[in-house]
Chain A
Amino acid sequence: MSELVVKNLHASIEGKEILKGLDLTVRQGEVHAIMGPNATGKSTLAYTLMGHPNYRVTGGEVWFKGQNILELEADERSRLGLFLAFQYPVAIPGVSVANFLRTALNARRRATNPEDKGMPIPEFRKMLKEKMELLKMDSAFAGRYLNDGFSGGEKKRAEILQMATLKPEIAILDETDSGLDIDALRIVAEGVNALTGPNLGALVITHYQRLLNYIKPQFVHIMLDGRIVESGGADLALHLEEQGYDWVREKYENGESGK
């Protein structure tokens, strides 16, 4: 069983420290939620775990499958089984969804067997069709340029389509619910639920309890100013929904966070 273990992680961007000693463990088969006010560093955590070159790790470790993955490039982390659904997926003009996914799949195959000739096209088509049906996506989508001119909801769906295709062991979903209408939210959540299970560990970053009505977390963490300050069960999210973050701020910004 794979697990992602984050120990005392410090990371900064443009000289400014954002992650200030973060600890977290996510195992395959578990669903964790991270909630926290804007600008506390949730996306920074997601990017840092995935290996974005703009974020500089200044301390701590991240272990995944027996390796300190901080030494690995983003593509190596991905092939190891880590996935990030982006809060703001970028457009890749000129590259179709299908072409992109096939390249990504074949990169995985070639990493295990350099002689691999790539997935046969009929097999790929069939697989893609199944995944797209799962997410109720029109088949014309496969021919569109990746994220280019996609609506907010379409982008989020395309992220989950990629996750379904690449079959990660640990997935970070950064605000996959934002920008979704209620029907799209249900479809995306169902898609995620169809993928979670013993083989997938998920770290769901969200501002809203409503997503957690569909994707039920076993663990909820509150992040504040670059750290996880509270952890609990699903009821912690409900509590936040009712009370907001003031009590968390009061508890941690006066005194304890200064440590």
Chain B
Amino acid sequence: MEEKPKIVVTTRTRRPETTAKQFAFTAAMVPGGGALREFRQHAWETFNRLSLPTTAEEAWRRTDLRALPADQFRLPEDGLYKSLPAVPGELLQPLAADAHGGQIVLLPGGASVEFTESLTRKGVIFTDLRSAERDHPDLLAKIMGAIVRPEEGKFAALAATLSQNGVVLYVPKGVSIDQPLHSILWGPGEDLAHLSHILVWVDEGASVTYVHESASPDKSGAALHAGIVEIKVADGASLKLVELQSWGRQVWNFSHERAQVGRDANLDWIFGAVGSRLTKNFSDLDLVGEGATGRMSGFYFIDGIQHLDHDTQQNHLAPHTTSDLLFKGALKGSSRSVWQGMIYVAPGAQKTDGYQANRNLILSQNSRADSIPGLEILADDVRCTHGATVGKLEKEPLFYLKSRGIPDKDAERLLVEGFFDPIMQRISFEGVRARFQQAIHEKTAAE
């Protein structure tokens, strides 16, 4: 009789710490009809079958979701954006050139599309997901889910089944687009689930530059973004893709991204992140055709209690493929970053050249960076190198700068800028660099 209550007490004290809340989405929310019906239905089943990841899973070991208020999130209803803060004008400025060839703004419960008529005549498609479902159902049915599958995780399945918003960019064979394309995912509001699906398909011999930016104002409360980015760079094609993330500090951000690069094709993939409360991003580079090359360049600067976890894979699946990854990050406050990278070389992928490096600069005692490179090489004639460092600002350079009359804060900023310079050198777009410089200014100036 006396022993029984003791057992009850033990289970009660443990339960609240170990289980996360569950999502409150229902089957009725899955968009019915249209070309994607089956895809979405299947993704819904997958979503229900998969559970929220826990730190027991290797990929999530350093990113704990127990505080995610999953039950709180709801989908934005149509037109909701009209009652929410509008997208700031500066986000609408072209970043990669003086003008853009097209711009899409994705909003809670809506989207707006501007696109150059002459490109439409060449067969280029650059539109939001709903318009694409209506106007290009066959294309969508063919490419959606071809590269990132709902089975890859709870959040991938969520984005696959319920995405109301997204971008479809299709560049037909041999078409070269000179003016960069630009899209913004603007996610204001509280308790909202922003779900996005980005599809980029650059057909044989085509080329394009595309900048996609996610942002929202800082708010209290919580918001969610779950996204999929599927990228195809077909044989001989070339893509420059810039992804910038400046989510508000309340946003729980998850994305599954994969690029498939074909024979003699080339991808220049740039990631910049300064926002969100917590981010977990999976970015895979699949070099599937002989002679494919891919470069991944990442920069991040986080502070406060921000948590940023980046998982990268460079998969060399064909001979004579080249990958080059450099991620650099600075951390302030009690922020935490994780980078876990893997270079995989498949059997027979000879003459592969793979490189990965992650460098972190810790600006406060309470911040922490984990940097975990990895190699798995199943071919014998390859060259693969990697490096990972976590360092602090050094005293002597700081004193040197101060001895020239530069105050502490400015000296720190100069050293941080210097730290990021090698990654900025890889970015040919002045506007993208300027955007990050501004973030460096703001974050170093803040206490």
Q: Interface of A with B (CB < 8 Å)?
A: 50-54, 73-75, 77-79, 83-84, 86, 89-95, 99-100, 103-104, 107-108, 111, 145, 162, 166
- Given A94-B419, A95-B421, A100-B414; A50-B403 close (CB under 8 Å): yes
| Shortest Cβ distance from residue B60 to the other chain A in the assembled complex, whole angstroms | 33
Q: Would you call B418 and A78 a contact (CB within 8 A)?
A: no
Q: Point out the residues of chain B lying under 8 angstroms from A54, CB to CB.
A: 395
Closest to A52 in B: B399
- Chain B, 403-417, CB within 8 A of any chain A CB: 403-408, 410-411, 414-415, 417
Q: Would you call B397 and A92 a contact (CB within 8 A)?
A: yes
Most buried by A among B395, B411, B418, B420: B418
B401, CB-defined interface residue at 8 Å: yes
Q: Of A52, A91, A104, A145, which is within 8 A of B406 by CB?
A: A104
Q: Of B399, B414, B422, which is within 8 A of A103 by CB?
A: B414
Bound CA–CA A52/B422 (angstroms)? 29
Q: Would you call A90 and B400 a contact (CB within 8 A)?
A: yes
B98, CB-defined interface residue at 8 Å: no
Bound CA–CA A77/B405 (angstroms)? 7
Q: Point out the residues of chain B lying under 8 angstroms from A52, CB to CB.
A: 399
B117, CB-defined interface residue at 8 Å: no
- Given A90-B397, A94-B420, A95-B421; A78-B403 close (CB under 8 Å): yes
- Given A53-B395, A86-B400, A103-B410; A92-B415 close (CB under 8 Å): yes
| Shortest Cβ distance from residue B328 to the other chain A in the assembled complex, whole angstroms | 10
Bound CA–CA A94/B405 (angstroms)? 19
Closest to B423 in A: A94
| Shortest Cβ distance from residue A163 to the other chain B in the assembled complex, whole angstroms | 10
| Shortest Cβ distance from residue B148 to the other chain A in the assembled complex, whole angstroms | 35
Q: Would you call B414 and A95 a contact (CB within 8 A)?
A: yes
Most buried by A among B402, B403, B410, B422: B403
Bound CA–CA A104/B410 (angstroms)? 9
B396, CB-defined interface residue at 8 Å: yes
Q: Taking chain B's interface residues, is the majority helix, strand, or loop, or is none over half, making it mixed?
A: helix
| Shortest Cβ distance from residue B359 to the other chain A in the assembled complex, whole angstroms | 11
- Chain B, 322-376, CB within 8 A of any chain A CB: none
Bound CA–CA A65/B253 (angstroms)? 56
Q: Point out the residues of chain A lying under 8 angstroms from B418, CB to CB.
A: 92-95, 145
Known contacts A73-B408, A91-B397, A92-B415; 10 additional CB pairs below 8 A are: A53-B399, A78-B404, A78-B405, A79-B405, A95-B414, A100-B401, A107-B404, A107-B410, A145-B418, A145-B421
Q: Would you call A107 and B407 a contact (CB within 8 A)?
A: yes
Bound CA–CA A99/B418 (angstroms)? 10
Bound CA–CA A115/B384 (angstroms)? 51
Bound CA–CA A84/B226 (angstroms)? 54
Bound CA–CA A51/B402 (angstroms)? 9
Q: Point out the residues of chain A lying under 8 angstroms from B395, CB to CB.
A: 53-54
- Given A103-B414, A145-B418; A166-B405 close (CB under 8 Å): yes
Closest CB pairs A-B (n = 4)? A94-B418, A94-B421, A78-B405, A95-B418
Q: Point out the residues of chain B lying under 8 angstroms from A91, CB to CB.
A: 397
Q: Of B396, B402, B420, which is within 8 A of A73 by CB?
A: B402
Number of interface residues of B (CB under 8 A): 23
Q: Point out the residues of chain A lying under 8 angstroms from B396, CB to CB.
A: 90
Q: Mark B404-447, 1 if CB is under 8 A from A, else 0.
A: 11111011001101111110000000000000000000000000
Q: Interface of B with A (CB < 8 Å)?
A: 395-397, 399-408, 410-411, 414-415, 417-422
Bound CA–CA A103/B401 (angstroms)? 10
Bound CA–CA A145/B395 (angstroms)? 18
Most buried by A among B399, B404, B421: B404
Bound CA–CA A52/B397 (angstroms)? 11
Bound CA–CA A98/B269 (angstroms)? 30
Q: Would you call B404 and A166 a contact (CB within 8 A)?
A: yes
A sample of 25 inter-chain contacts (CB < 8 A) reads A51-B402, A53-B399, A54-B395, A74-B403, A75-B402, A75-B403, A75-B404, A75-B408, A75-B411, A77-B403, A78-B402, A90-B400, A91-B397, A92-B415, A94-B418, A94-B419, A94-B422, A95-B421, A99-B414, A100-B414, A104-B404, A104-B405, A107-B407, A111-B405, A145-B418
Q: Point out the residues of chain B lying under 8 angstroms from A75, CB to CB.
A: 402-408, 411
| Shortest Cβ distance from residue A27 to the other chain B in the assembled complex, whole angstroms | 22
Q: Would you call A162 and B404 a contact (CB within 8 A)?
A: yes
Q: Would you call A89 and B403 a contact (CB within 8 A)?
A: no
Bound CA–CA A108/B421 (angstroms)? 25
Closest to A54 in B: B395
Bound CA–CA A89/B396 (angstroms)? 9
Q: Point out the residues of chain A lying under 8 angstroms from B405, CB to CB.
A: 75, 78-79, 104, 107-108, 111, 166
| Shortest Cβ distance from residue A246 to the other chain B in the assembled complex, whole angstroms | 35
Q: Of A84, A95, A104, which is within 8 A of B417 by CB?
A: A95
| Shortest Cβ distance from residue A100 to the other chain B in the assembled complex, whole angstroms | 7
Q: Point out the residues of chain B lying under 8 angstroms from A83, CB to CB.
A: 403
Bound CA–CA A104/B404 (angstroms)? 6
Closest to B421 in A: A94
| Shortest Cβ distance from residue A135 to the other chain B in the assembled complex, whole angstroms | 17
Q: Point out the residues of chain A lying under 8 angstroms from B399, CB to CB.
A: 52-53, 74
Q: Would you call B406 and A103 a contact (CB within 8 A)?
A: yes
Most buried by B among A73, A78, A92, A162: A92
| Shortest Cβ distance from residue B143 to the other chain A in the assembled complex, whole angstroms | 40
Closest to B405 in A: A78
Closest to A80 in B: B405
Q: Point out the residues of chain A lying under 8 angstroms from B421, CB to CB.
A: 93-95, 145
| Shortest Cβ distance from residue A68 to the other chain B in the assembled complex, whole angstroms | 19
| Shortest Cβ distance from residue B332 to the other chain A in the assembled complex, whole angstroms | 18
Bound CA–CA A53/B396 (angstroms)? 10
| Shortest Cβ distance from residue A165 to the other chain B in the assembled complex, whole angstroms | 9
